[in-house]
Structure 1
Amino acid sequence: MKRFSDYFYSQHTPVKDTVLHVLAESCDSANVVQLILAGHGRLLMKLNKRGETALHLAARNGHLGIVRALIDYAKSEAGHWFPPCSDRRKRMLRMASVAGNTALHEAVWNNFYDIAKLLVQEDPEFRYPHNYALETPLYVAVEKGRHNIMVLILESCKTPSYLGPGYKTALHAASILNSPESMKLILEKLPNLIKNVDIFGWTALHYAAKFNHQEIARLLLSADRSTAYVAAKTDGFKTALHIAVINGHVVLVQDILSHCPDCWVQITGKSRNILHLAIKHEKGEVLEFVLQNSWASKLINQNDNEGNTPLHLYVATKNLDGNCLVNHPFVDVNSFDNSNSTPLDRIVRDDQLSERQILIKDELEQAGGTRGYRNVATVKKNLRASSPDEVKKVEKLAANFSIVATLIATVTFAAGFTIPGGYYSDGPHKGMAVLGKKAAFITFVISDSLAMFASIDAVLGLIRLFQTKNYRLK
């Protein structure tokens, strides 16, 4: 006959919660837990459908009395257990659910400090792993703003783990949430995290630059100023300075440069310097600050991967006031990009200019800007391709012309052999055209020859045009 204890052990809800699970979730009754475990100790480690023990549920619901009763029973000599009871306690504390969560994860998420303290003190050697969402208890504590639990973990755990989603660390989270107190303690306990990068290649300093968290940035730069030189390999090799410029945080730009005066030389993966970025993203305050520095003369005419100088990028802006750039004493207003275009070449025909383009055109011309001359020899009238669509239209039109010209050349060439009226087959004029002395025939021969040579010339000209591929629409 089946023993009653076995029957009690096998009873559960549809989600496989045992009576101990139900009690741990519903109320904080330590005495009842002790009574249940006294007769049915095997329920201590019994898992529900989510892979959770009663300890998980008690920690999630803040039932400190039950958490303590479960731990005390695991430490006791009660029941039959092998190996020793100390291992039973550690095993229970370290058990992870189907989602990878330990009881400490549950306590941190729900901000139950006393339960977190009890769990950590019972097993300070354990390096709590991340769950399947890549969240460690320490990262969750920082991200959720549980400062007292964060302090508890950092000070009680001998080797605290720190990872979060996207390979962020607790230091990233402190930077994003703008928590200087957390930042100071993490830097003290885990100083090596300062150069750790996430999935985007960003350090904690990148995030401080993104969100303009100036105190956080100063703490990081004071701890290790070399973090300012870390370039995000998976985000266009941007440094924290580049991020600060892109977002227009001029004070943070100044702070970074005050700690690392030479980091202005770094460029992005597109070979753009901070002046390129300030203009591209239309950050006027940053632009003015950069141009006030003596080293701006080394940036102002640099080319990116497409040959653009900062002035080339200025032509495409919508609202930026770039007078300080156009009239800078070191700017080359007639510099060429990779397609041999000057900044003024970027402006389309006068009858198509917007008010903004007219303004920039006037600024460039007053500063001595001119249209380029390097492409003049390639195509008549210095055609300029103002857009890829226009280039395609020209190519299609030229292709059609070449077909027509080829047909004309073929027909006119054939007409020279099959002339109207035919030839004399005998007599003194054998082989001569029958209509050779007629005015209309002479006119036909001359017209046919002109048509043939003109069409051949047109075909050859179009072939040369396609070979150069440097033509432009004006």
Structure 2
Amino acid sequence: MRASSLTAAGGGSAPLEPEAAARPTPASMSPLLLASVCSGSWRALGFLINTKDVPGLQSDAALIQAFLDLLDGDAVGSGTESSLATQQAFHSEGGSDEVPWPAAAPLLEGTTTGGDTALHVLATYGEGGNFLKSADIVYRNAKHLLFKQNKKGDTPLHCAARAGRSEMVSHLIALASGEASSAERLKEVVRIQNEHNETALHEAVRLGSKHVAELLMMVDSELASFPKEGTSPLYLAILLERIDIAESLYLKSGGNLSYSGPNGQNALHAAVLRGQEMTRMLLAWNIGLANQGDQNGSTPLHFATSVLCPKGVHFWVFRPWFPWNHRACHSSMPFKQVLQANLAPIYQPDNKGLFPVHIAANIGANEAVVKFLEKCPNVAGLRDSKGRTFLHVAVEKKQPSIVAHACQTPSLSRIWNLQDSDGNTALHLAVKLGEQNIFSLLLENRDVRINLTNNNGQTPLDLSESMIRAGSIAAWNPRFLIDVALKYCQAKHGNHRLDHFEEQYIQPVDEEKQSEYLSTSTQTLIIGSVLMATAAFTASFTLPGGYKDDGTPALAGRYVFDAFIAANSLAFGSAGLATMNLMYSGTAFLDMPLRRKHLQLALYITFSSATSLATAFVLGMYLMLASVASLTATVMCVVASVLSLLAYMDTLRGRAVAKALYARMGNRSLVIFAQILVIRTSTIFWPMIASFIWAEISTKHRHK
């Protein structure tokens, strides 16, 4: 059956176009040859090559039947991989059901679609007696195939090493060593590089086969020195954390090996990303690696510093300082090893002028900054290509721990007021970013000057006013706190005439964007106001305690009930009024200033409604539970009150600024704090106060 399916039928191929026929194309490998080498059938392979010596076979069918008998005989007991490969070989010819008997002369010159020769296939699919004998047969008939490269530049030795065929690797080496000039021949074979500039040794390292790597190194002790540029075998071993292979390469080469990696890196760049043991080993072999920069100028110390604070795996997304958040920091990162081995890289910038201390400030590695300053205090004044110190970088990257350390360390006072290439101090940058906490850390330091001008003649106060977006609402924008704090500290404007400054730096209101902003805000807020109005309206007719038979409220006449009624009424009235103002705010035919005023009023009234509704809820719960579970009612009131306070954290956002003002102004700031606290508390919680005042008035009136 198999013989009939493999009977010769060479026709059926379309005629080639003239241009295509003129181009030389490599001969395709015969399916019969591919089947024999995939299965490792050396008898079938020999039969294919030596058909002219077989008497009595007069037809292709007879030849194929004889070939298949030999193939079946060698296939008994063969591995699954080679059997599957054999079946694949029989069906690899684009749907043709019949296979011609190959011509003897060009048989071994045929290649697969990937450019693999018979020797490539043998090296890939197996080892053992049959495959090794097949390799002998192919080599005796076409010795040049040992050096032949496929379309990816791989030789049979690459394929054997990639597949981990140690016996085949040894055998191919032995075949090459049988030549008259065996030493040179061997080196030529093992040093051939593919399209990725990798030798067979790279494949052995990537596979993790120490045995194959040692076989190749025994042939050529200098093999680990190739390629001269690019990824070396040692770099690959370090990157893959195969320290055993790395040590073997070093010992077999006598230390004469390449440390190079991609993009101008060396093996130490990879080692500092993998752990302390490999870093320690490489520093012992070649301490000069610590001074070498990659194509970006980054030294291994830059790399070691950059991984000190990897991004955490936060199981809770609210705040990273919660105890159940986990920061996935590698405890064995070899920063200290690289730093102690060679101090010179501390003063070595990358192509952007960034020193390792800038990298530490960039990622918030406060421990690294401290170490740098302990080893070399002068690194504090190092500047990058933009004239920035590490303090400038920490401010721009919003790293408060670095800024706090710098501001609280007197020995760093020389950098507190240093200006970058644009004339900006760290305080200028904090104001420009609107980073309230970092601004407060700088303002808290009385030696930080608040009136220095940058290259545009702007002081921090000028920057603050120019960065406040027109139409912003003070209570919701930290930039207003920064601006107010600077004014409380008597900060001055720069060297511009104020009207000219406003024309040049204060951006006018974009009416179109402002209208879109108001419409979007209105749509969001009106949902909340309507829901609160609905809840308050419903509570007015489903009173706590129910009703008496005469239709009057069962709990009427109590002090808490009167407070509940007042709070609920305020909630409904405020929500309704807020809804009306939001409707005006979202109306496009009104003037923009009037729409903004309606939005500001609606915001305030909405929060008043929320305070009233929360008060009504707490009082209603107390009315229902006080008579049967007084402790539970009290606890519920306290908890609900605390939760209500959390909705008004806006006032507490200024605590860092308040601390800075106290450091600058002393006791004078306490009066300001008291005024702000009283005013803010009154404006937020007035509905609660009003509800209890009305309850007191109602109670007194009832007793009269």
TM-score interval for Structure 1 and Structure 2 normalised by the shorter chain: 0.7 to 0.9
Deviation at 1:161, TM superposition (A): 1.1
Residue 202 of structure 1 pairs with residue 324 of structure 2: no
- 2:301 and 2:294 map into 1 onto residues whose CA distance is 12
Q: 2:131 aligns with which of 18, 26, 32?
A: 32
Residue 146 of structure 1 pairs with residue 242 of structure 2: yes
- 1:444 equivalent in structure 2: none
Q: How does 1:163-178 map to 2 (within 5 A)?
A: 163-175=260-272, 177-178=273-274
- 2:449 equivalent in structure 1: 332
- 2:376 equivalent in structure 1: 260
Mean Cα deviation higher: 221-230 or 360-369:
360-369
Q: 1:124 to 1:336 in 2, by over 3 A?
A: same
- State the one-letter code of the partner of 2:289: L
Q: 2:340 aligns with which of 204, 217, 222?
A: 222
- State the one-letter code of the partner of 2:283: L
Deviation at 1:327, TM superposition (A): 2.5
Q: How does 1:240-255 map to 2 (within 5 A)?
A: 240-255=356-371
Residue pair 1:333, 1:368 contacting (<8 A) in 2 also: no
- 2:387 and 2:378 map into 1 onto residues whose CA distance is 17
Q: How does 1:7-406 map to 2 (within 5 A)?
A: 7=106, 9-30=108-129, 32-34=131-133, 36-37=135-136, 39-40=140-141, 42=143, 43-76=145-178, 81-82=179-180, 84-130=181-227, 134-157=230-253, 158-175=255-272, 177-212=273-308, 215-232=333-350, 234-235=351-352, 237-321=353-437, 322-348=439-465, 352=472, 355-372=477-494, 374-376=495-497, 383-386=502-505
Mean Cα deviation higher: 332-341 or 95-104:
95-104
Deviation at 1:278, TM superposition (A): 1.5
Aligned residues: 377
Residue pair 1:30, 1:69 contacting (<8 A) in 2 also: no
Q: How does 1:428-439 map to 2 (within 5 A)?
A: none
- State the one-letter code of the partner of 1:72: A
For residue 313 of structure 1, give the secondary structure of its aligned residue in structure 2: helix
Q: 1:131 to 1:19 in 2, by over 3 A?
A: farther
Deviation at 1:169, TM superposition (A): 1.2
Deviation at 1:127, TM superposition (A): 4.8
Normalised by the length of structure 2, the TM-score is: 0.50
Q: 1:351 to 1:62 in 2, by over 3 A?
A: closer
For residue 504 of structure 2, give the secondary structure of its aligned residue in structure 1: coil
Q: 1:92 to 1:331 in 2, by over 3 A?
A: same
Q: 1:93 to 1:248 in 2, by over 3 A?
A: same
- 1:253 and 1:341 map into 2 onto residues whose CA distance is 30
- State the one-letter code of the partner of 2:116: D
After superposition, the C-alpha distances for 1:6-52 in whole angstroms (9 at most, x for unaligned) are 65543443434333221211112255324542643614333333332
5+ residue gaps, structure 1, are: 392-474
- 1:215 and 1:97 map into 2 onto residues whose CA distance is 34
Mean Cα deviation higher: 330-339 or 96-105:
96-105
Q: 1:178 to 1:293 in 2, by over 3 A?
A: farther
Residue pair 2:238, 2:267 contacting (<8 A) in 1 also: yes
Q: 1:384 to 1:310 in 2, by over 3 A?
A: farther
Residue pair 1:52, 1:97 contacting (<8 A) in 2 also: yes
Q: 1:381 to 1:267 in 2, by over 3 A?
A: closer
Q: 1:6 to 1:256 in 2, by over 3 A?
A: farther
Deviation at 1:173, TM superposition (A): 1.1
Q: 1:66 to 1:56 in 2, by over 3 A?
A: same
Q: 1:118 to 1:312 in 2, by over 3 A?
A: same
After superposition, the C-alpha distances for 1:139-188 in whole angstroms (9 at most, x for unaligned) are 2112222222122222222421122221111111112x232111111111
Residue pair 1:238, 1:269 contacting (<8 A) in 2 also: yes
- State the one-letter code of the partner of 1:147: I
Residue pair 2:373, 2:380 contacting (<8 A) in 1 also: yes
Deviation at 1:72, TM superposition (A): 2.1
